[in-house]
Amino acid sequence: MFKNLSDWKSKLRKTSKNKVVVVEGKRDRIRLEKMGVMNVLEMSGKRLSNIPELIEKDFGVNEVVMLTDADEFGERLSDTLGGILESQGFKVDYSFRDFLKTVEINCVEDV
Give alpha helix (H) positions in the chain.
5-15, 26-34, 51-59, 72-87, 95-102
pLDDT attached to residue 1: 84
Kindly report the pTM of this predicted structure.
Answer: 0.95
Give mean pLDDT in consecutive 10-residue pieces for the chain, a chain of 111 residues: 95 97 96 97 94 96 96 95 97 97 93 93
Domains of the chain with bracketed CATH: 5-106 (3.40.1360.10)
DSSP H or E run through 91:
strand 91-93
SS3 of residue 51 by DSSP: helix
